[in-house]
Amino acid sequence: MLKHLLVSACLAMPAAAEAYSACTLAPLTGAGGSIAQEGANPVTAAGWIYAGAIDKKTVRVWTSSDGGNTLGAPASIFTGLGNVKDLRLAAEGSNLYAVWLAKSDGEDHLWFAVGRKHAARWTKPRDLGVVDASLPQIAADGRNVHIAYLADTTVMVINSADAGKTLSAPVAVAPGWGEIVTTAAGRNVYVAWNTQPAPKRYEVWTAASTDGGKHFAARNMSASRQNSAEEPIFTIDRASGRVSLVWRDAISTDGNYLQTTDHGATWTAPLLVDTPARQFMVVDDGKTIYVSYLKEMKVDGATDWQLHLATSTDGGKSFPSRVDLTGPTGIGVIQGDDYRPIPWIGRDGQFRLTGVKADGIYAWNGHDGHVLAPVHLGEGRLAAPAFNSFVWQSSQGAVSYAVCK
């Protein structure tokens, strides 16, 4: 178990023109550890880095006050009797928020806790009730916290306007099936998800709230599409309020980009980013919109899923730059979200990205739309970045952490 990870102070933000050249790695758990999909952690706020993992049945969180260079001993914030899974984190100011699922009496319960003073002091975990076995989501902005989840095939949202001290009653948004995502800025809250109505046609729905999550207006975004739509992903540029949404069409595997600049009242028409492709992700730093995804290529006649990155510098009107970052990966079959490429943006145009090839995890750094050569972190999957820190899971379940320079 990692107690302290000490790295030279020279591992500050790399110069914009320099690719990563070296990384320091350390284990967070042994076999039997797990992390959630879609970039659950690490997360960062106010210069701190937070990493989390489920170590068998215990939820553990690590903190760093120096940009990831030094990790303290883990805080064990919960231990369950049944299956504990799907830890997700959100950080804002000096607070770290965590949600996860744990089995009790054969049913999944949603749990919530807050780490105050940069996760030095944790609140007692709160059982938020029985939920469907679908990945929960959490978003935080200022003192506003929003937890989105599925319960009894209904998309639900729980809100807090006081940094998690008190929680609202659950707000029923609309019927749903899964793939829930959420983002927020100020009093504006957005949720997207998949429905699965007969005859097995998936649709992407969104819902927007302008009153802190008390009321939502929901709409079917893909009803007019020829193909069903899957895997919606959100991001928000807090400075402008622009919300970006990506999804893929199920049959054609077209990757689509949409946005709203009026708090969800109107959306642009779906814009084709690339095809055939899957597992689209999006981030927006206000100047550049990045869409990362896996594109189906052929190598000697066989399918090979390669990590591509599309960028827009005209506010999402077009994505003229599309780059194959990996070339052949040796991955012929996608397994769940194991290989999903996760992007991250910071202040002043910082960009990070993780991707997976057959020989393991790769990490990229970049700046203002420019992406540099990657560094290899090691064997694994489910990788995600924050600043210069990375967390991923090995095929045996061990969760690892790295900081790169």
Res 18: pLDDT: 86
Query: What is the sign of the dihedral through the CA atoms of 193, 196, 197 and 203?
Result: positive
On whether the CB atoms of residues 37 and 393 are closer than 8 A, the answer is no
CB 204 within 8 A of CB 232: yes
Task: Convert the pLDDT of each residue in 103-141 to its tens digit.
Answer: 999 999 999 999 999 999 999 999 999 999 999 999 999
pLDDT at 348: 86
> What's the pLDDT score for residue 334?
96
| Mean pLDDT per 10-residue segment, the chain (405 residues) | 32 57 95 93 96 97 96 97 95 98 96 98 98 97 97 98 98 97 97 88 96 98 91 96 96 95 97 97 97 98 98 98 97 96 94 98 96 96 97 95 97
Indicate the length of the chain as a whole number.
405
pLDDT at 16: 46
Long-range contact set of residues 374-381: C-beta below 8 Å, sequence gap at least 24: 374/19, 374/20, 374/325, 375/19, 375/20, 375/21, 375/22, 375/23, 375/404, 377/23, 377/25, 377/402, 378/25, 378/402, 380/356, 381/335, 381/338, 381/339, 381/356
Each residue of 254-288: pLDDT tens digit? 999 999 999 999 999 999 999 999 999 999 999 99
* Strand pairing category for 137-141 and 154-160: unpaired
DSSP 8-state code for residue 348: G
Quick one: pLDDT at residue 226?
87
Q: Which residue ranges make up each domain of the chain?
A: 23-404
CATH architecture of the domain with range 23-404:
7 Propeller (2.130)
What single DSSP character describes residue 117? H
Tokens 């145009």 correspond to 349
pTM, entire model: 0.94
Residue 201, burial from CB neighbour count under 10 angstroms (0-12, 13-18, 19+): middle
